[in-house]
Amino acid sequence: MKIIVCVKQVPDTTEVRLDPVKGTLIREGVPSIMNPDDKAGLEAALRIKDRNGAEVTVITMGPPQAADVLRESLAMGADEAVLVTDRAFGGADTWATSCTLAAACGRLGYDIIFTGRQAIDGDTAQVGPEMAEHLNIPNVSYAAAIETEGDHLLVKREFEDRYHEVKVQMPCLITALAELNAPRYMTPGGIFTAYREKEITTWTRADLPVEDENIGLKGSPTKVVKSFPKTVKAAGMKIERGVDESVQFIMDKLKEKYIL
């Protein structure tokens, strides 16, 4: 069985701070990590490998330093790693990203593709289902548990108030929730092999069968008009009155804000 896991290197957004004076993001010193949902996808793939045997390939699209998350994946137990990197891929929205990654997956071949549900820097949850569409394969999003059964997967698909037990034929794409599992740590032997012995394959624009009009900034249907820091809100109003007036005041605000 061939499993591809798509991983993304992301800034640890819990560490991102705003410059209180300039109102800009302070990016310096923010650690880069493997996106948590993607790591759950990788762990799911490695567990299938442990149980049934499988060849696990991790791919990422990003700048050269994104290779760090590939090394980490190899050290956790992935077999192969592919870095998709080219200036031509830069500035891609989810459409262009999914076209590029789908082309890379098509070149690799697969029975299962795992992506994380969403990345913590973009939070879109779009790239996985869009890839599945480009590849014309079924997708199951929000996976909270996975089992293999012959040429099918049984997936626990989470919703707000319920879950579905879904049977899906391979080849298929699954988007993993971080809750899916507790990812393993890198082993010392794994780290040694990952950094000393394993090669990372690099693919550029020339290596992938993609159309120029579907990649990078130019191939992105959505464009960023502007970005701005979230306004830091000022203190609101404070009143010191009797019980009835206080209650009325809160009720008015709750209604004004359509909370009631």
Partner 1 sequence: MNMNKESHGVFVFAQQVDKTITNVSYELIGKGKEIAVELGTKVSAVLVGSGIKELAQNLVEYGADRVIVIDDEALETYTVEPYTQALTAAVTAYNPEILLMGATAIGRDLAPRVAARLHTGLTADCTVLEVDKEKQELFMTRPAFGGNLMATIECPNYRPQMATVRPGVMVKRLRDKEASGEIVVFDAGIQKNNCYVEVQKVVKHIAHKIDIQDAKILVSGGRGVGGKENFKYLYDLAEAVGGTVSGSRAAVDSGWLEKDEQVGQTGKTVRPGVYFAVGISGAIQHVAGMEESDYIIAINKDAGAPIFSVADVGIVGDMTKILPELTKAVWAEKSNKESL
- Binders of partner 1 in range 63-122 (CB under 8 A): 93-95, 98, 120-122
Q: Which residues of 109-122 are buried (b: 16+ CB within 10 A; e: fewer)?
A: ebbbbbbbbbbbeb
The answer to whether residue 196 forms part of the interface with partner 1 (CB under 8 A) is no
The answer to whether residue 48 forms part of the interface with partner 1 (CB under 8 A) is no
CA–CA separation, 70 and 121 (whole Å):
18
The answer to whether residue 132 forms part of the interface with partner 1 (CB under 8 A) is yes
**Are the beta carbons of 58 and 104 closer than 8 angstroms?**
no
For the segment 236-255, give every residue that binds partner 1 (CB under 8 A).
236-244, 246-251, 253-255
Which C-beta is closer to partner 1: that of 141 or that of 181?
141
The answer to whether residue 151 forms part of the interface with partner 1 (CB under 8 A) is no
- Which span sits near partner 1 by CB under 8 A: 54-62, 81-89, 129-137, 187-195? 129-137
Strands 2-6 vs 55-61: parallel, antiparallel or unpaired: parallel
Residue 119 CB, shortest distance to partner 1, in Å, is 10
**Which residues, including other chains, have CB under 8 Å from residue 86's CB and lie 6 or more apart?**
204, 205
43: number of Cβ within 10 Å: 21
Closest Cα partner for 49 from 78, 17, 25, 12? Answer: 78
State both tokens at 37.
Answer: 């949902």
Contact string (CB under 8 A) for partner 1, positions 219-238, x = contact: -xxxxxxxxxxx--x-xxxx
Q: Which of 55, 124, 144, 191 binds partner 1 (CB under 8 A)?
A: 124
- Which span sits near partner 1 by CB under 8 A: 14-22, 43-51, 77-85, 197-205? 14-22
Q: Which of 128, 183, 190, 216 binds partner 1 (CB under 8 A)?
A: 128
